[in-house]
Amino acid sequence: MSTIDPAILAKANSWLNGNIDEETKNSIRQLIKDNQTELVDSFYQDLEFGTGGLRGLMGVGTNRMNVYTIGMATQGLANYLLKYFPGEDIKVAITHDSRINNTLFATTTANVLTANGIKVLYFKEMRPTPMLSFAVRHFGCKSGVMITASHNPKEYNGYKAYWEDGAQVVAPHDTNIIKEVQKITSFDQVNWNKQDNLFSYIEEDFDAIYLEKVKRLSLAPNEIQQQKDLPIVFSPIHGASGKMVPAAIRVFGFENIHIVKEQAEPDGTFPTVVYPNPEEAEALTLSLKLGKEVGAELILACDPDGDRYAAAVPNAQGEFELLNGNQTGSLLTYYLLSRWKEAGKLNGKQFMVNTIVTTELIDRICEGFGVKCFSVLTGFKNIAAIIRDLEGKETFIGGGEESYGYLVGDFVRDKDGVSACAMVAEVVAYYKTKGKTVFDVLAEIYERFGFYKETLISVTKKGKDGAEQIQALMTDFRHHPPKEMNGQAVERIVDVKASTVTHVESGKVEKLDMDKSNVMQFYLADGSKISARPSGTEPKIKYYFSVNKTLPQASDYRKVESELVSRLEGLKQYFS
């Protein structure tokens, strides 16, 4: 027992002596007796209510997702809502995805809110994150809560808090909510006395309202009619999008949709995949198998909460090739701007948004069409903030981030895998009517704006030690930045946390006009860009790599791609 920090043991004992259920107490006793490492990790800190909410491993203790940490977070949220909207009719929309403890955590959230006199609109069935975002605005809610851990492994769950504009909370509300949450230091400060009269359901008829909005996004109904039998495979990867994505694709006009049966049913254990993450090729194994069987021309998949999407299409050899988030984002951007231009709708009052770790190809495409493109910090809430600030003044066409998130139109204020899947299907169908494949269109984009290629390394470092190692890595980048990589000099260093841009050769330092974030970026002499960013939601540090080169002609596609892949591999060696 002497090896355990007394402060950690005191926290564990405060739970043992507190007003909690016996099963939780027994689990804590078991940890004290048999697993002190897990005990330390469960109690060494409070699970941080960050700017997006909570996310963490499920289990007992202050550093875990459980009904007590969720209750405390919700009490803090309730206190802030009551303080910010005094005397107003406050409503909060709630739903969840398919994760373990999904309904337990969602109903806990609902119960604490109603106990505090706040009305709850609770989705009768699980629905994807974008529908929660839309519901907040549609029903005039002041806030929303989505119980999800997105694409994290099955052991995780989370709690995403939304504001009245349908976006995840941003300044000043994010820090103000965090302060209120931090004031709740015990579950005894939580009002658990639910008021059932303040609870009502969002029924299934809301689906049709959302789908009608999605349908209006379509720019090519005639071309889709010509390609309505396009074979499309879809997998919800055991998540919450199994009903809505096929419905959205159908409402666009497609009829030949094949669902991956083994992954169709919601299941928080995600039994057929290692990780329920469409960014991982392994998660699409069954989708690719079905795609070959049915001769699919497009394969789509979503993560458990349906905000991220992935796509695969057959190449010239007939083999399915996975498109990354930068490629699909570039395709969607090019398609949307091309179609808006053809319709004569670009008049200088439109804009798009992406993030600082997303491909700069999107910026080049926007420049080519004369459309503003804002670059913001990672996190879709920052994209939504630009949409909110320009609402009523300029029109948002679309935007996204490299991590397989995209949004078309502004009725949702978070990334929307449901409408994105439908729009990617439209892109494939539209260009097919012009005799072009997806790779023909990518070559067209690369010839015109430059061939950009990106990759990503995620390094996982779990627990207290891992968090300290990640911070040490970032400190080292700041104090001892690399001078060259892959034979190319580092010309410019951007420190988003320090708000500085350093020109290495001259030593000149400029001010960076952007919110602070723990991100370092290195720009090399050949145009390569490397970004280092600790994840805000996972025990990881992520390294983003981007290289580019001119594409002389479409026939050089694979040759230039091979050169870019070689450059990426050279850069990755510095960080793996």
Q: Which residues are catalytic?
A: 150
d(CA 161, CA 210) in angstroms, rounded, equals 20
CA torsion sign, 58 to 54 to 186 to 192? negative
Q: 354-381 burial, b if ≥16 CB within 10 A, otherwise e?
A: bbbbbbbbbbbbbeebebebbbbbbbbb
- Are the C-beta atoms of residues 272 and 261 closer than 8 Å to each other? no
d(CA 516, CA 497) in angstroms, rounded, equals 5
Instruction: Classify burial at 572, counting beta carbons within 10 Å of its beta carbon; exposed 0-12, middle 13-18, buried 19 or more.
Output: middle
User: Which two tokens mark 521?
Assistant: 């970026």
Where on the phi/psi map is residue 380: left (φ > 0), alpha (ψ -120 to 50), or beta? alpha
Strand pairing category for 350-355 and 395-401 = parallel
Strand pairing category for 372-376 and 350-355 = parallel
d(CA 197, CA 190) in angstroms, rounded, equals 19
The answer for residues whose C-beta is within 8 angstroms of residue 475's C-beta and 6 or more apart is: none
Q: 20-43 burial, b if ≥16 CB within 10 A, otherwise e?
A: beeebeebbeebeeeeeebbbbbb
Residue 488 DSSP SS3:
strand
Residue 533 DSSP SS3:
strand
d(CA 564, CA 452) in angstroms, rounded, equals 8
184: DSSP letter: -
| Structural Rg of the chain based on CA atoms | 24
- Are the C-beta atoms of residues 91 and 141 closer than 8 Å to each other? yes
d(CA 443, CA 561) in angstroms, rounded, equals 10
Give the Cα-Cα-Cα angle 527, 530, 532 (nearest 5 degrees): 160
Instruction: Classify burial at 48, counting beta carbons within 10 Å of its beta carbon; exposed 0-12, middle 13-18, buried 19 or more.
Output: middle
* Cis peptide bond upstream of 172, omega within 30: yes
How many Cβ atoms are within 10 Å of 553's Cβ, its own excluded?
9
- Are the C-beta atoms of residues 208 and 130 closer than 8 Å to each other? no
User: Which two tokens mark 210?
Assistant: 């959302």
d(CA 121, CA 141) in angstroms, rounded, equals 9
